[in-house]
């Protein structure tokens, strides 16, 4: 397995993760992961562990953040413990800016706005998240790019800008305003997701653009990931 590299220097690199690939290893994951690949890429096993930071860097093979298995697009991987720590700091301080592209059900009104609602794990289903009392404060801004019809239904191509980074945040927020993502097997509803999956093979969400600072030089770095073929085909064949 190999991944297209969108950006690389001595401190970190960004890959274009294809849909269907899991980022981190787990007992339930039988296929090769980004983590397996990254360990070979940065030779993380050769680092001598002297601190908790270095231990986390090695354990995670430099992977700074996560995106879902079915989500495609930009993923940052640090080459050194120092870059790992600095990029994590940028995420925590929300100085890293991300724009996702998604296809959602329906026409959003208003066409531009934001969703602020607390996201947390559902007590009755540990695999799913939702808007729950006591959830973590979460905000996602959105902007409609295009509205189109496909297979007798209305869809919108949107830009989504998460200001926080909660698990499944974008998917939960779009469901919350009644515009679930196309192909979302967890949040679109059983019938809707079943119908979606007859022609859309995954959750149509792509990590499109990311801006961060170089951990050493502090230079602003802008990274762009091309829109994947499966999403582009839906957009262009209306």
What residues act catalytically? 68
CB 85 within 8 A of CB 72: no
Residue 226, C-beta contacts closer than 8 angstroms, at least 6 positions apart: 16
How many whole angstroms separate alpha carbon 77 and alpha carbon 118? Answer: 28
The torsion angle over the Cα atoms of residues 211, 212, 213 and 219, rounded to 10 degrees, is: -20
| 132: nearest Cα among 141, 146, 121, 140 | 121
How many whole angstroms separate alpha carbon 19 and alpha carbon 11? Answer: 26
DSSP assignment letter at 94: T
Rg (C-alpha) for the chain, rounded Å, is 18
How many whole angstroms separate alpha carbon 67 and alpha carbon 221? Answer: 20
Strands 205-213 and 72-78 come out as parallel
CB 100 within 8 A of CB 141: no
Phi, psi of 192 (to 5 degrees): -60, -45
């Amino acid at each position: 397995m190999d991944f297209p590299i969108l950006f690389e220097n001595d401190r970190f690199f960004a890959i274009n993760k294809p849909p269907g690939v899991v980022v981190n290893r787990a007992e339930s994951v039988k296929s090769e992961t980004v983590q397996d690949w990254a360990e070979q890429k940065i030779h993380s096993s050769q680092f001598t562990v002297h601190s908790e930071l270095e231990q986390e860097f090695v354990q995670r093979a430099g992977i700074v953040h996560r995106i879902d298995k079915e989500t495609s697009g930009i993923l940052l991987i640090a080459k050194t413990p120092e870059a790992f720590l600095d990029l994590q700091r940028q995420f925590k301080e929300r100085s890293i800016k991300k724009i996702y592209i998604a296809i959602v059900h329906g026409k959003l009104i208003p066409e531009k706005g934001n969703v602020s609602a607390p996201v947390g794990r559902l007590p009755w289903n540990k695999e799913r998240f939702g808007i729950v009392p006591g959830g973590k404060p979460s905000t996602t801004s959105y902007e409609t790019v295009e509205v189109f019809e496909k297979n007798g239904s209305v869809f919108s191509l949107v830009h989504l800008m998460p200001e926080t980074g909660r698990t499944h945040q974008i998917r939960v927020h779009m469901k919350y305003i009644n515009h679930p993502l196309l192909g979302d097997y967890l949040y679109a509803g059983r019938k809707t997701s079943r119908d979606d999956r007859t022609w859309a093979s995954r959750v149509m969400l792509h990590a499109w653009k990311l801006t961060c600072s170089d951990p050493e030089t502090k230079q602003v770095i802008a990274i762009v990931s091309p829109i994947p073929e499966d999403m582009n085909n839906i957009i262009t064949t209306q």
